[in-house]
A and B are shown apart, each in its own frame.
Chain A
Amino acid sequence: MEKGTCPVADNARTLAGILAEGRIPVARCRQWTEDILSLMKDVGSGRGGAEHLPAMEALAKRLQREGGNEDCVALGKRLLSELQTHREVFLSHLETANCPLGDCIQLSPAPCQMACPAGIDVSGYVTLIGQGRGDEAISLIRKDNPFPWVCGLVCTHPCEFMCVRGRIDKPIAIKDLKGFAAERAMSEGKYANPDRAPDNGRKVCIIGAGPAGLTAAYYLGLKGYRVTVIESLPMAGGMMMVGIPRYRLPREVIDREVAMIEDLGVTFRYNTRLGTDVTLDDLKQEGFEAFFLAIGAHASFKMRVSGEDDFPGVADAIAFLKRVALGDHHMPGKKVAVIGGGNVAMDAARTCIRLGCEEVTVVYRRTRSDMPANPEEVEQAEEEDIRFSFLTVPIEIRGGDGKISSLRCLRSELGPEDESGRRRPVPVEGSDFSIDVDAVIPAIGQTIDKSGLESLDALQWSRRNTINVDRASMETPVEGFFAAGDVVTGPATVVEAIGGGKRAAEAIDRYFEGIPQPKMPPVPVRRQHLGFLEVPASTKMSLSRPQMQMLGYDRRRTTFQQVELGLSENSAREEARRCLRCDICVRCGKCVDICRNKMGVDALQMGYLHFDRPGHTDFRVAAERCILCGACAANCPTGAMKIEDRNRERVLTLCGTILNHLELEYCQSCGAPLGPARYHDFIRKRTGETALLAGAEHLCMTCARKAAARAHGEIMPPVA
């Protein structure tokens, strides 16, 4: 083994190689080897538990004893000896989740990838888009998320909040890039599924065709399971379909991505509700051995104000959005109040405008800056003439003859912080006022609709009315039952549901294989190591985040056409070039320290390296000061900083950003490159007069030594 090679990573590589080359012909042995590999990867990503080592040993022993053919026996034997020899290293990975040799790759995924609930290799796909390989970008995303197009349009993009580029100017438009690549790949017919494993005959039932259920269906389908999804609605998509309005997420987008999952042999039963249309016993009798509950959070919280139940004009946002999504485009009223400050409230309000409501007011009890809705959603709502009434608490819905006439409210003030860390609104006595409305849409939060789950009395429910599961394996206390998505997290985002579905799929696979479940939730994995996009420092600094093209206001107020029109090919590729490639550069700051404090050159102005107090960043400064000594590159632990000689120039790059390039000087004897004039001036200034007198000739190290040796040879005394 070479120096710096970790036995965990090394064995995983070897096993993957053996499997990829198809060197294990016996199916049974291949399965055992795959299981060992999967366990090995757990160990290498810090997710292993105490049972991992004995489980791997047991599997290796089986390979050795029952392998049957020579290769399998030899492999088993070798693995056993590896596990024995490097026991200490394996244990340190398991106990401290640390790879002392730094060989286990996911030690430092980029912050964007760490922030992604689905753990997408963001830097990887952004780079692929920059290279014009959008279809490969989609394949890369789909290793962690089967809905790149949906997420490219509606994801809340937690990645962008962590984006390091945001400390220089604005974060990379990660979400928009994903949407661009997915649409392009789909239209060019290059959006393809990876190869499906052969049918393994095992039946899994997924309850709920939302993002969590569909994600699990995708990954289980790929693994060869026979997956059936039951869904109470007449179409797939769950909240993506009936919660998110069409102007943000066209139906075709969901349908096309669901079709990709159907292509894997996943079957759907629509209009089928567990507990009503089919019972658990029926499903068990059909041969389903594992179940995945992903029923979402489709019930709404009540406002608990008087009049709430008295008028048909009061419809909660979830029911309202569902009705519109299913095709009923009647407006709820002429003057509508939407209660709440979240994304659902924005969706409901903007939907009302599109249905022709004359006046839509969002009533929120805190201030604008406290709104949980995405800022761009709020901005777009304002552009569509939606009114906002902040610091307003509704107290009564008034009316007569079954018709609402007004919403009575109190002004509020922000008091001390509550348990969520936000200041609690306190109503001001005697400040009541009325808003004239004929419809009220409460959007103050969702909860789980438990109906249909009565037969599963062993499920444990949390105080928040969600299902308790093991957060690493998504297992419920009921044997063979897994759950994820909103039903576990409470109302959350599409991408969180996708992350949960992916974890559940892996756990269900392990459940069938009888191998131990991970003890820790997965750490995102860097999927591939891509080269850098070369960008001059001035371009890197001057490129700016593209402005999303938007539909005209008149169209937006009248139709459900998609509001965001997407990026152009050119702006997408330019945007990818802004990425700092934090998957390679770990922002340790060694280069800056050496250049400033050791060399005294101070050519690297990279203020973004400070996480808490980012300073000024300007990559262009390097070209003015850098002497191209290469000390930064020599000390870069990840190969982000590179110094190379090409085209008669010495070039310094940081993750592809060309920081400096100067013409080379050459050895006068052999013609080997020496360094640029600025570097030699730096040295001459330090060595002073004496060196200037002697250094008439410009020689490389080898030629200098040779010349000196020759001079010595010449002065040898005459031999007798």
Chain B
Amino acid sequence: MSKYYLFQDAKNCIGCHSCEVACKSNKDLPVGPKVCQVLTIGPRLVDNVPKAAYIFMPCFHCEDPWCVAACPTGAMQKRAKDGIVFVDHDLCVGCKTCMSACPWGAPQWNPEIGKVVKCDYCMDRIDQGLKPACVTVCTTHCLHFETTDKIQPIRRERYAKAMAALE
């Protein structure tokens, strides 16, 4: 995995899709590719109340990414210093093998340039000390971006509280 962790606190997500919009505009993408995507799971009835979950799906920046293994041109790479998986457009020829190899559907097709685009945690922004575009616009602050050692135990705390309330 990369040394970063992009955590979505799904409980607070209202499914406004601002993250998707910011991502697309930051990467200047046409209709089609969704480098990150908020998917609606549900609604279904929980105690007779319809509930839906909004799940943020970026790239997981796997430890041993299949997209990198599948890429015949070396365009898909894992950055040595922080483990970010990214695509070098100078090398990408558009064979789409990474798209077929990824079990999460993370690499996307940009028909305008005939190459693959994918979430790279906005490498250029990170290198300038900024956060990824999606995180900066999240209206409910449910997206958190940290290095793995600094991530807050939000879910653990919430679960503990819930357990306490049960008593």
Complex contacts, A629 vs chain B, CB 8 Å: 95-97
Which residues of chain A (617-641) have a CB below 8 Å from chain B? 629-631, 634-635
Which residues of chain A (690-717) have a CB below 8 Å from chain B? 690-691, 694-695, 699-706, 708-710, 712-713, 716-717
Contact A634 B72 (CB under 8 A): no
In the A-B complex, the 6 residue pairs with the closest CB atoms: A634-B94, A705-B105, A713-B41, A634-B114, A720-B162, A629-B95
Q: Let me know if B39 is at the binding interface, CB within 8 A.
A: yes
The residue that B57 contacts in the complex, of A594, A630, A708, with Cβ under 8 A, is: A708
Which positions in B face A, CB cutoff 8 Å?
10-11, 37, 39, 41-42, 53, 55, 57, 64, 66, 69-73, 91, 93-97, 99-108, 114-115, 155, 158-159, 161-162, 165-166
Which residue from chain A places its CB closest to the CB of B55 in the assembled complex? A709
The residue that B37 contacts in the complex, of A598, A631, A674, A705, with Cβ under 8 A, is: A705
Q: Let me know if A599 is at the binding interface, CB within 8 A.
A: yes
Which residues of chain A (308-324) have a CB below 8 Å from chain B? none
Contact B69 A687 (CB under 8 A): yes
Complex contacts, A720 vs chain B, CB 8 Å: 158, 161-162, 165-166
**A227 → chain B, closest Cβ, in Å?**
52
Complex contacts, B41 vs chain A, CB 8 Å: 709-710, 712-713
Which residue from chain B places its CB closest to the CB of A703 in the assembled complex? B105
Q: Let me know if A65 is at the binding interface, CB within 8 A.
A: no
Q: Let me know if A610 is at the binding interface, CB within 8 A.
A: no
**B51 → chain A, closest Cβ, in Å?**
8
Q: State the CA gap A691–B66 with chains docked (Å).
A: 7
Q: State the CA gap A699–B101 with chains docked (Å).
A: 10
Which positions in A face B, CB cutoff 8 Å?
594, 598-600, 629-631, 634-635, 674-675, 679-680, 682-683, 686-688, 690-691, 694-695, 699-706, 708-710, 712-713, 716-720
The residue that B55 contacts in the complex, of A690, A713, A717, with Cβ under 8 A, is: A713
What's the dominant secondary structure at chain A's contact region? helix
Which of A599, A631, A683, A720 has the most CB atoms of chain B within a 10 A radius of its CB?
A683
Q: State the CA gap A702–B100 with chains docked (Å).
A: 11
Contacts A686-B69, A691-B66, A713-B55 given; does A719 touch B95 at CB 8 Å: no
Q: State the CA gap A335–B68 with chains docked (Å).
A: 83
Which of B42, B69, B72 has the most CB atoms of chain A within a 10 A radius of its CB?
B72
Q: State the CA gap A598–B90 with chains docked (Å).
A: 12
Contact A704 B105 (CB under 8 A): yes
Contacts A634-B115, A709-B57 given; does A704 touch B104 at CB 8 Å: yes
Q: State the CA gap A694–B107 with chains docked (Å).
A: 18
Complex contacts, B115 vs chain A, CB 8 Å: 634
Complex contacts, A630 vs chain B, CB 8 Å: 94-96
Contact A706 B95 (CB under 8 A): no
Q: State the CA gap A674–B102 with chains docked (Å).
A: 13
Q: State the CA gap A719–B159 with chains docked (Å).
A: 8
Contact A705 B39 (CB under 8 A): yes
Contact B94 A687 (CB under 8 A): no
**A667 → chain B, closest Cβ, in Å?**
11
Which residue from chain B places its CB closest to the CB of A720 in the assembled complex? B162
**B38 → chain A, closest Cβ, in Å?**
9
**B152 → chain A, closest Cβ, in Å?**
16
Contacts A631-B93, A634-B115, A635-B93 given; does A674 touch B100 at CB 8 Å: yes
**B164 → chain A, closest Cβ, in Å?**
9
The residue that B101 contacts in the complex, of A631, A687, A709, with Cβ under 8 A, is: A687
**A677 → chain B, closest Cβ, in Å?**
12
Q: 17 interchain pairs (CB within 8 A)?
A: A599-B93, A629-B96, A629-B97, A631-B93, A675-B96, A682-B97, A691-B69, A699-B105, A704-B102, A708-B105, A710-B39, A712-B10, A713-B10, A716-B10, A718-B162, A719-B162, A720-B162
The residue that B103 contacts in the complex, of A594, A675, A704, with Cβ under 8 A, is: A704
Q: State the CA gap A691–B67 with chains docked (Å).
A: 10
The residue that A634 contacts in the complex, of B37, B93, B165, with Cβ under 8 A, is: B93
Complex contacts, A599 vs chain B, CB 8 Å: 72-73, 93, 95
**B113 → chain A, closest Cβ, in Å?**
9
**B96 → chain A, closest Cβ, in Å?**
6
Which residue from chain B places its CB closest to the CB of A713 in the assembled complex? B41
Q: State the CA gap A679–B95 with chains docked (Å).
A: 10
Which residue from chain B places its CB closest to the CB of A698 in the assembled complex? B100
Q: State the CA gap A719–B166 with chains docked (Å).
A: 11
Q: State the CA gap A717–B159 with chains docked (Å).
A: 7
Contacts A690-B64, A712-B55 given; does A680 touch B100 at CB 8 Å: yes
Q: State the CA gap A630–B115 with chains docked (Å).
A: 11
Contact A683 B97 (CB under 8 A): yes
Complex contacts, B166 vs chain A, CB 8 Å: 720
The residue that A631 contacts in the complex, of B95, B159, B161, with Cβ under 8 A, is: B95
Q: State the CA gap A695–B70 with chains docked (Å).
A: 14
Which residue from chain B places its CB closest to the CB of A697 in the assembled complex? B103
